[in-house]
Amino acid sequence: MALDYPATYWKDYELLDSGNGEKLERFGKYVLRRPEPKALWTPSLKDWNKLAHVSFVPGAGFGKAGKEDSGTWNRLKKMEDQWGITYNGAQDPETHAMSDLHLSLRLGLTSFKHVGVFPEQAPNWEFIYRETSRLARIHKANGLGAPRVLNLFAYTGAASLAAKCAGADVTHLDSVRQVVTWARENMERSGLDGIRWVVEDALKFARREAKRGNKYDGIILDPPAYGHGPDGEKWKLDELLFGLLQNVSEILGERDSFMVLNLYSNGYSAALGETVVREAFKGQLKEMTSGELALNDSFGKVLPLSIYVRAKR
């Protein structure tokens, strides 16, 4: 199992400290204090509120399924409700060249403790960019059109932008119209265009694409533990993940294709992720890697946040 971290030279993000169930982060020019249940240790810094611009205060539903992230922000210093950061690519682990992935993302304070980006996902963005770039070269050499990439549960779209930067024809799907609008703004900020936007339930969309015989060269999945579709469809990860992956196996291209699965649900391991992917694809994958996405704080404490599975056909 591998541990993957964002590049240390990402200037607009830094995990300053972690501990006592919280994390202290810098996004651009602002410092935020947020809950993080996996930070089980003691913080290294003494008084976070002297550094933080805002602190998230969990609401009454904190810890309950579907409501665990709700709450309000306590303002400690003057700051804007919305601001921007940039991400400039990391070093390719094989060629050691810097990637041409450049993103401009709008951040904002939401009632669910999130700000519009999950910084630990940067290694996945790089993998998506590299694989899509590889497919774009193959397609061009064979006189084919742009590789098609589908991003399910796509949130504010950094992964979609990574695929688009690499030359893909991207379909971005999320069940919440507001975050799709947010993703469109990120696309425009990043100087990109042409992404297809879909507001729909991910499982229904994947099933319909399978019936239509539609295929994608890359598929990205970042499903929550619980969720709802735009028409009230209920999503529960434990019950529906395997079926969704079976549908994904039908719509992922049969060769020279890739898939990325990311899971934040507590209790899920990289070994479990590999097994559920392998079984859903019935041994039809030629390569698969898994691990944890983590952040390193300024004092060397490792904060693991999600597990990933990256597969190729």
The per-residue DSSP string of 209-256 comes to HHHHT--BSEEEE---SEEE-TTS-EEEHHHHHHHHHHHHHHHB-SSS
Question: Encoding tokens for residue 172?
Answer: 């971005």
pLDDT for 64 beyond 80: no
- Determine the straight-line distance between the first and last CA of the chain, rounded to whole angstroms: 20
Q: What is the pTM of this model?
A: 0.94
Residue whose tokens read 């397609």: 139
pLDDT of 239 reads 94
Quickly count helices (H) and strands (E) in the chain. Answer: 6, 17
Q: What does the pLDDT read at residue 231?
A: 85
In this predicted structure, what is the pLDDT of residue 24?
A: 98
Q: What is the pLDDT of residues 274-310, one digit of tens each?
A: 999 999 999 889 999 999 999 999 999 999 999 999 9
Segment 169-198 mean pLDDT: 97
Segment 235-262 mean pLDDT: 95
Other residues' Cβ atoms within 10 Å of the Cβ of residue 193 = 9
Is residue 111 within 8 Å of 71, Cβ to Cβ?
Answer: yes
What pLDDT, on a 0 to 100 scale, did the predictor assign at position 229?
Answer: 87
Whether the CB-CB separation of 36 and 25 falls below 8 Å is answered with no
Cα angle value 2/107/65 (rounded, 5°): 65
How many angstroms from the chain centroid is the CA of residue 245?
A: 17
Lowest-pLDDT choice from 161-175, 183-197, 260-274: 260-274
Residue 156: which domain range? 2-312
The helix/strand/coil state of 291 is strand
Which pLDDT does position 133 carry in this prediction?
96
Q: What is the per-residue pLDDT across 86-120, written as a single tens digit (0 to 9) for each?
A: 998 777 777 767 778 999 999 999 988 999 999 99
Half-sphere exposure of 90 (CA within 13 A, CB side): 20
Residue 61's pLDDT is 59
Give the chain's domain count: 1
- pLDDT on residue 227: 86
Q: Tokens for 308, please give them.
A: 């990933």
- Taking only the tens place, the pLDDT of each residue in 21-51 is 999 999 999 999 999 999 999 999 999 999 9
Ordered DSSP codes for 171-218:
EEEES-HHHHHHHHHHHHHTT---PEEEES-HHHHHHHHHHHT--BSE
The CATH number of residue 287's host domain is 3.40.50.150
What is the spatial distance between Cα 180 and Cα 85, in angstroms, rounded to a whole number?
A: 18
